[in-house]
Structure formats: C-alpha cells, structure tokens
Structure 1
C-alpha cells in the first residue's frame, strides 16, 4: 500500500503500510492484518543520496566552469601534503591530467627558480596575517615545450585549526602571458622613447597654455644641456632664464605669452640665436607645433630645438666659397665653360673669350664652334653630341680632345678641351662643366721632340751593335737593322710583339720575377726546349728585355741573375751567354740598362748586344794551349817561372811547386829563391 504520513506531537512521521489478508478454507478473506513501519530514516537516507548526487553534479559543473574561466585552479590539503591541480592548470603548461601528480612539488618544479622564493614569502605573509594580506603573485612557469608562461596566482586559506595553523587553501592560476608581453613591449617602448628623448642631440620641450594665456613648461629633455648649455634643473629652478638668453632681436620667433593662436593646429620652423652658457652665440632651429587638447581644454605646444651653428657656418662658408669660385672663374688663366643638359653653352669665363676672340654672346649656345679649324669642326661637333647624349642616358661618358682653332689675331693654334657631367645633390644631371687650355707651345715642343727622336733613331740604326728597347711588360718598341739582320728577322716581326712562351720569366717594375701567363712557378728553359723541340724556331724573349733569341739552356741562370740584380741603384749589368741559332751556338755579350723615373718605377728597358763568338773561341784556344803546356811539363818534369819587371812579381807553374815540394796555396817564393 502507499505510504502514509501521520503527525505525532507536531512531528510528521512517514509510515510504510504492509497489508496481509487472512483467508478461510474456501479462500475467502475473513479479515485483514495491517502493519505500520516508521520509515523516517529511510526517507532521510534517500534525500541525502539525491542531495549528494545533485551536489556532485553541481561541483563537477563548477569545476568545469572554474577550469574554463580561470584556466586552472588548485585545492591544497596542507596537513596531508596533497594538492589537487585541475586539468586546466596542467594544460596551461602543456601537460595532460595524468602527466603531473597532484602534489605541491609538481608546480614547484615547473616554476622558474628565481620566482619560487617570492611565492613562499607571499604565502608566509598571508598565513602570518591570518589571511589579511592577500596571496597574489605574478610568476613565470616553464612550459613543456620550453617556453615561458606568465601566470597570475591568487589564493586564500579557507580552513584553520584551533591553533591558527592553515589546513586548507584554494586558489587559481590565470595565464597572463599576452598581457605581460604587452607590458614588456610597452616598457621597452617607453624606455626606448625616453632614451631617444634624453639622448637626442635636440632639446625637446612641451608647454601647456593656461587660461590666462600664460605658458607653463611641462617637460624638458636632457638635450637642453647639449643645445643650450643649461641643465633641465637649472632651467626649471630659474624661470625666465631661457628666454633671457635668446638674442633680443630674435625673441619674436619663439613661443611666448604673446604668440598668436588664432589658427590651430600651428606648425612652423623658426631660427633664432641663443647665448650659450659658455658665452658663445648658437644658431638654433626650432620646429614648433601647437594643438588644442579637448581633454585638457588648453593649447599644447611641442618644440624640437637643434643646434644648427655648424650648418649656419657652412652656409656662410658656402656663400664665401661661391664668391671665391666666381672670382676664380673670372680670373683663371684657363678657359672655363658651363653648358645646360642639352649641351648648349650658358657661361664662358673671360679667358675663354680672350682665347677665341669671341664675346660672351658669340660663345653662348653653339657659337663656340665657329672659330674651330674647318678640319676639326665636324669631328668636335659629333663628339660633343655623343657625349651629351650618353650623359643624358645615364651612361658613363668622357670628353677629352685636342683640336685646332683660330685665335683672336687669326693665327692657327692648338687647344685641349675636357668636360664632365654636372650632377645635383640628388644625382640628377643638371649640365656640363669643362675647361680648355692652349697647348700650342706643347705641340711645338712635341714636334721638336719627334724630330730629335728621329735623329736619335737614325743614329741607332747606323750602329753595328744589336740594339733594342722595350717596355716593362715586354713589348718591344724598337730594334735596329743590325739586330734584325743578325737574327734574320724583320722589324714587323718584332716591334709591338709581346710573346711569352709557357715558363718565360719576367722581371716586373717592382723587381719581382713572375710568369705572365699564370701564377704558377715557372718551368726551366731546358724543360721548355724539350717541350718545343730542338728544331722548332721558338722566339725566346729574354726576361724583362724581351730580347729576340734562343738562350742556351745552361746559361739561363746567368740571364736571370743579371736581370734580378737591376735596380735604381744598379741600373746597368753586362753578361755573356750563348744563344742557339739556325747556324749553330753563338756567344753574345749584352749590356742591359733599366731606366727608372724619379719615383723609382721602371719605365723602359734597353740592351746593346754584340757577337763575341770569335773572341770566345780564341780564349778557349788559349786555355787549351795552356792546358797542353801544363800537361807536357808534368810529363817531362819541367817547371818554369815568369818575372814581371813592371810589377816585380814572380809566377811559378804548378809543376815547379811540385818539384820543390811547396804548397801552391802559399805565397810565391822570392826572386832570390827562384835564382
């Protein structure tokens, strides 16, 4: 049966009714037995069970809400040394719930070591104040991936024992990394801005205008000391000091109480003079900006002031320079001209007018070409046109020419003209500037030199010695007929040639031997002869002098040593060596001369050679006769001595030394001993 509730002495008691019928033998109900049981405890247990289920659901829901909103919370059972760390807490640092134990050591191992003492100190203050001082920290944790996570950690002890010791503490962690990064960036920006303001070469000043039009300085940068010579403190402690140092005639350009604010915003750049603390006058450039601030309901001025004294001095120097430049142009002994970008003449100095005999009006435009020699007019005009065209296209171009022209007296003269493009500071072509000088005297001198050179060459041509001249790079510039005849060559085969077979060594202008074909070590002459073949007609160029010959391989070191010894202090050297020719091996003697300029740089090499083969043969014959005589004396045991009356010296033969048992290395015996 259904349960009943009865009220006994004001208390409602739930009853459970159980009914059992009593039957007779026929199965009929004769009476009913009812039993009543108090089920108050059962009802209370059921209510507690439902309440517990509801509370558990609500707690789980609250935990999820806290985990989402706070990104992680914790519950610390202090005596049991157990601390519940929510899944969101662990995910904040890259860990799953099962990867971190629920102990205080778990978070203590993750926190940056430098921040842990501060957390403990904050906890101690919170406990000692019995919760009056809040537990709040902003600390850094190490993420699983190695990055740093900034966390706001806040908590509170919620249970205490009778002795006032903490039993339970709860709190939350909130990820504030983004906020911290913004704060750090803001701090860095502020520090950078402050650093710029304080270290900028300019003085930066802000002012605010009060309602009575009185300007109040609200900020001065450290640049005031650099610009004005006064520190920020000096200017602040002495009102009116700065304005008193502005040169009185210039005070109208600086911001004062009289500055008109009829139109805002107000921007302008002014220049004024300021009497520096050291007593000197400085030119100051002030960039002034004034705006209206709706929040403060007043005018705000910002002034950036820079010392432009050097620039002002440069401007004055430039003005003086322009005056001097104009004076130089007007008084220069050289003709100077300027042309626009189209190539038309726009200026000619007096010297150019005097040279040409034309007035300025006659030179301007293309009038300068009127007094050119007829044979030079077309060429000079075409060359100038090409120069102008290439310059306007941005191509590298040059204009240097010698030309003939008619002077004011009608005489024919020589001139040298050169011009270069003229560019603006931004790199744009703005015109051309050039100069022309009379070189008639130089041309006459060149003609005389050519005539003298011709006479000199004719003398060389008539010499019987072999003569050649060449540049330091080995290019032959002259050989006489005797040399060509001796080697069976023509001048065309030799002059202007610079042939260096593999392995040929040169002595360059600095006296360093090198291989002109490569940087490798040169091969020997004998190796090269083997490479080229004995019968092949190879033109060997003697190192440094490019002598046309085939040097006998065994004599190559003689040539190399000779050339290596040449220097400004010892420019001449004579050597004897053999050359291989089609008619056999011949002995030659060469006198090599190196010609240096005043700076000690090699500019030309000259050599004079002669055939000494007959002399060498005669010397060889004499040596052979002496050897034969010596051998005959040794065989016949005959010794001899010679006396030179002029020098009063005696010379003994080797055999005579042997016969007397004397040492040939000792001094020769006296005349009396010989007699």
Structure 2
C-alpha cells in the first residue's frame, strides 16, 4: 500500500471517529435540552401552583425592595390584597405610595416607621396598624415582616404577610368594655364582695364595701388567706359550707359569722358560688351585713 492510500485510510478513519463523537455530543446535547425543558416546565408548574396558593390565601403577600434612604419599590402583590385593602395588585404596584397614604397617620409614626429598623437589621417583626380600606372603613391589619440584604442591588428584599384582624380587635374591645363595666359594678357595689381561691381561701379581689366592713386595707387582704386574717369565727361551720360548695351546691343567704380587724364579731347573710379564674377554681362571695353578734340587735347594711 502506497503512502497516499495509507493517508486516505487514516483520514477516513479519523472522519468516522469524528462523526461518531459528533453524534455522541449531539445526543448529549439533545438530552441536556430535554432535561432543561423538563426543569423549566417543573419550575413553571411550581410557580403556577405557588401563585395559586398565594392568590387563594386570605392575606395580602407583598414583596418589595427597601433602600437605605427608606424609599421602596414593589415587586409583587398577591391577589389577596384586594380582600385586605380593597385595592387590586395593579393599583398598589402602580402607585408606590398608595398603601402608605391609607395607613392611619398616627400609626405611620408610631408603628410603621419604627419597624423599618428591624428590616435593616434583617429581624422578623410583627406589627398591628390601622388602614383605611378602599370602601372607607377603618380596618385593623396584622403584619409579619421579613427581610434579607441584597448586596448586588444594594437594598433589602422584604416580604410582608398582612391579614385583617378587625373582627378580633372588635371582640377584644367588646370584652374590654364588658370587663370595665363588671369592674365598676364589683367595686361600687353597696354589698361586700370577695373572690378567694377555693383550695387555700386566699383573697384575689375584694371591693371597697368589704374593706369598710372588715376594717382592713387592700394591702392587708389581697394575697392573704381568711385564716391569716382570722376572719372565720366558726371554722367547723366554714368547713360545712366548703363541703356544700364542693358538691356544686351554691350557698344562698347563709348566716356566716366573721371577725373584723378590731375584733368585733359580726354576722353576714352570704351567697357564695364557685367560679373559675385563669383555670383556678375560686369562690365568689356576696354578703349583706346582718347584725352585731355581741349585742344581738338586728340591722341591715
């Protein structure tokens, strides 16, 4: 075989090898393209499902960039913002300061601005503020804020989750007013009222009338037991009353002798029932001072 034939054979062999390697590379390339397409489809599916979850949530989820000069630029508002704030995501992102303009000015200064320090410190924070809904109503909003520093963009990436807690706040206010009313009734009642723990007979609360009749000050009574003060004249009688209460049988206008701070023995008509306070069984006593035992003269207080 001459040299020219050997060269052709070598070239043919190299050509075949090159074609084989090219085919292998093309196959690998096709496989990479397929994997990328699958990954992209999976990512798109995940994003679709995530957006669906966010949009179904009864909350407004917001993503924005916060800069050192305290201005911000929105990247995202979930569809839930319309239920919480009354405005669509487009309205809130188009007008960068629409949300801010609807926050109660008092809460801008006392709640929102102080919370920016936590954003810059990358600390999770929780805040409650009032917001004028698009329909004009004033809503209470609970917000959880998280942040992360983005060095490349020279900003902080912030995410907030806002929920309407107006119903809870209304319930709390109703409860507060109810408790305030009950407190006034308790402390201004013309009848002596006391609350003691069932297990120890330790005073948790008494009203002014109770203090006036017994002669003790509030500091001398609260936190002490009926035994510490020596109020009970007939301990056996008291034990019988306690047994009755243990059977869930309230006392109705029972005569109970008690001793005042000055040592005077008096008799009261008392009605006692059990109540639970902070998980602790207690006795609520409402009395009517009846007469002075040592004189036997009947009287009403």
TM range (shorter): 0.5 to 0.7
**Which residue of 2 is the match for residue 380 of structure 1?**
238
The Cα shift of 1:323 comes to 1.7
**Which residue of 1 is the match for residue 214 of structure 2?**
358
Rg: which structure is higher?
A: 1
The Cα shift of 1:410 comes to 5.9
Question: Structure 1: how far apart are the matches of 2:68 and 2:190?
Answer: 70
Structure 2, unaligned runs of 5 or more: 3-23, 291-301
Question: Structure 2: how far apart are the matches of 1:330 and 1:347?
Answer: 10
**Which residue of 2 is the match for residue 321 of structure 1?**
178
**Which residue of 1 is the match for residue 9 of structure 2?**
none
**Which residue of 2 is the match for residue 348 of structure 1?**
206
Deviations 1:294-351 (A, max 9, x none): 5655320111222233333333333322221111112346543223574311322245
**Which residue of 2 is the match for residue 600 of structure 1?**
none
Q: Residues 209-220 of structure 1: matches in 2 within 5 Å? A: 209=66, 214-220=71-77
Which among 282, 285, 288 is matched to residue 435 of structure 1?
A: 285
Say if 1:210 and 1:385 are closer, same or farther in 2 by CA, change over 3 A. same
Say if 1:187 and 1:335 are closer, same or farther in 2 by CA, change over 3 A. farther
Say if 1:240 and 1:272 are closer, same or farther in 2 by CA, change over 3 A. same
Q: Is contact 1:400-1:419 (8 Å) kept?
A: yes
Q: Is contact 1:334-1:351 (8 Å) kept?
A: yes
Q: Residues 431-470 of structure 1: matches in 2 within 5 Å? A: 432-437=282-287
Question: Structure 2: how far apart are the matches of 1:212 and 1:352?
Answer: 61
1:221 aligned onto 2:78: yes
Q: Is contact 2:74-2:96 (8 Å) kept?
A: no
SS at match of 1:416: strand
Say if 1:188 and 1:383 are closer, same or farther in 2 by CA, change over 3 A. farther
**Which residue of 2 is the match for residue 254 of structure 1?**
112
The Cα shift of 1:379 comes to 4.4
Structure 1, unaligned runs of 5 or more: 1-6, 11-65, 71-135, 137-151, 153-173, 388-395, 424-428, 441-675
User: Which has more helix, going by share of residues?
Assistant: 2
1:301 aligned onto 2:152: no
Q: Is contact 2:78-2:89 (8 Å) kept?
A: yes
Which among 396, 415, 432 is matched to residue 270 of structure 2?
A: 415
Greater RCO structure (CA 8 Å; 6+ sep): 2
Q: Residues 127-146 of structure 1: matches in 2 within 5 Å? A: none
Q: Is contact 1:420-1:433 (8 Å) kept?
A: yes
Q: Is contact 1:245-1:276 (8 Å) kept?
A: yes
TM-score by length of 2: 0.63
Q: Is contact 2:192-2:287 (8 Å) kept?
A: yes
SS at match of 1:254: helix
**Which residue of 1 is the match for residue 256 of structure 2?**
405
Q: Is contact 1:398-1:420 (8 Å) kept?
A: no
Question: Structure 2: how far apart are the matches of 1:358 and 1:187?
Answer: 77
Q: Residues 438-517 of structure 1: matches in 2 within 5 Å? A: none
Question: Structure 1: how far apart are the matches of 2:40 and 2:98?
Answer: 41
Say if 1:263 and 1:236 are closer, same or farther in 2 by CA, change over 3 A. closer
Q: Is contact 2:194-2:203 (8 Å) kept?
A: yes
Say if 1:225 and 1:439 are closer, same or farther in 2 by CA, change over 3 A. same
Which among 87, 90, 96 is matched to residue 230 of structure 1?
A: 87
Deviations 1:349-375 (A, max 9, x none): 245456xx313447653337855553x
Q: Residues 488-637 of structure 1: matches in 2 within 5 Å? A: none
Deviations 1:111-158 (A, max 9, x none): xxxxxxxxxxxxxxxxxxxxxxxxx9xxxxxxxxxxxxxxx9xxxxxx
Question: Structure 2: how far apart are the matches of 1:296 and 1:272?
Answer: 29
**Which residue of 2 is the match for residue 367 of structure 1?**
226
Q: Is contact 1:383-1:399 (8 Å) kept?
A: no
Say if 1:192 and 1:321 are closer, same or farther in 2 by CA, change over 3 A. farther
Question: Structure 2: how far apart are the matches of 1:262 and 1:309?
Answer: 25
**Which residue of 2 is the match for residue 284 of structure 1?**
141
The Cα shift of 1:419 comes to 2.0
Q: Is contact 2:58-2:80 (8 Å) kept?
A: yes
Say if 1:411 and 1:338 are closer, same or farther in 2 by CA, change over 3 A. closer
Q: What is the total number of aligned residue pairs between the two structures?
A: 254
Deviations 1:563-612 (A, max 9, x none): xxxxxxxxxxxxxxxxxxxxxxxxxxxxxxxxxxxxxxxxxxxxxxxxxx
The Cα shift of 1:217 comes to 0.3
The Cα shift of 1:433 comes to 4.4
1:240 aligned onto 2:90: no
State the Cα RMSD in Å.
4.6
Question: Structure 1: how far apart are the matches of 2:51 and 2:204?
Answer: 54
